Amino acid sequence: MTEHAAATSRRLPRGPGATRPRRRGSAPTSPRGRRAFTILELEVSLVVLMGGLLCMSSLVTVQGKQMTRAEAWCRDAPTYYLVSQSNRWLRMLGASANLETEAGQAAWVPPVTGSHTYDPNVVSIHENLDAETMTVRVELFLIE
Amino acid sequence: MDRTPKRKRRGFTLLELLIAAGLSVGMVLITAQFWRYYSRQLEDLKARAHVAQELRIALGAIRRDMGPAVGATPVGADQVLLCIDGGPDPNGTAEWGAPDTLVTYSLVNGKLVRTDQASGVEIVLVDHVSGFTVEDITASLLQMTVAIEKGGISRQMVLRWSRP
């Protein structure tokens, strides 16, 4: 055993329950040799925790404002007026009813009704001889 | 002979410890209050979002069926029968049978259920329905009220439909 090792073994107590001597300026240690938290560390961690919670609280506040805006349509027991489609083509296509907030508003009128004049342009023609069907794609140009 | 150097570090006084402990307890209490308040706020937000979403789904479904509807009549206080114009050439008149499609909206165990009368297919549209009432306001005006409630949040909407 060297002289240095012998000196070290003299300074360090051995056996169960023995405590290591604290170095100068080091944090207090438990009997098992683990370093404990200081009060300062505890206070800092609490401040950091509170800062995190405050950040979260701002998120909740923003979310609350957005939610208030998003549910504005149903907040005060609204009354909506449903207007069924009067155009039979729209009924065939299964278009949804028009939604109005006041009674007696004119329902939306599709642009294909009325006495407009269109210039048709045949884009493509597909014939299916097996099914005996023909699909024609036509573009309509409104003539002012 | 003890060669361990004697340190002259001053420890905390009782007053310092009491102040530190008081501050810590105060911060923990404030944090707990914050946490409880914002947990409640989050639950509230979740319930509000859920209720608004359910109402939106109910409105969308009823709108979709009311678009081509040519007739609607209440069946009891919490059920409505819709006559949807159908067939290859919709004629715009309510034929309570073929070729038109009959659909029922009803309240079953807190759920708004859409039933296709021809196929018998039932679809649960929305949950947490606290009320669904159907009534004839006038001879030509039908009124449906849908109310949703969850987590202490209650919302309702009124839908009025004029017979064509």
Closest to B102 (Cα-Cα) out of B73, B128, B123: B73
d(CA A139, CA A121): 5
When pLDDT is averaged across residues A45-58 and rounded to a whole number, the result is 84
CB atoms within 10 A of CB A85: 27
Domain extents in chain A = 36-75, 81-143
- Asked if residue B97 has pLDDT above 90, the reply is no
Strand ranges of the sheet holding A79-83, from the earlier edge strand across to the other edge: A98-100, A79-83, B153-162, B141-150, B129-136
When pLDDT is averaged across residues B128-132 and rounded to a whole number, the result is 95
Please give the model's pTM, rounded to 2 decimal places: 0.67
Measured in angstroms, the CA of A123 and the nearest CA of chain B are apart by: 26
Question: For the segment A85-144, what is each residue's pLDDT rounded down to a tens digit?
Answer: 888 888 888 889 988 888 776 554 444 555 677 788 888 888 888 877 888 888 888 876
- Asked if residue B40 has pLDDT above 80, the reply is yes
Q: What is the mean pLDDT of chain B?
A: 88
Task: Let me know if A41 is exposed, middle or buried by CB neighbors in 10 A (0-12, 13-18, 19+).
Answer: exposed
Name the residue among B12, B45, B66 with its Cβ closest to that of A63. B45
Buried (b) or exposed (e) across A10-32, using 16+ Cβ within 10 A?
eeeeeeeeeeeeeeeeeeeeeee
First to last CA, chain A: 110
Which H or E run includes A81? strand A79-83
How high is the ipTM of this complex? 0.80
- Asked if residue B117 has pLDDT above 60, the reply is yes
Asked if B92 lies within 8 A of A82 by C-beta distance, the reply is no
When pLDDT is averaged across residues A48-69 and rounded to a whole number, the result is 87
User: What residues of chain A, 61 to 100, have a C-beta less than 8 Å from chain B?
Assistant: 63-64, 67, 70-71, 73-75, 77-86, 88, 90-92, 94-97, 99
d(CA B71, CA A116): 31
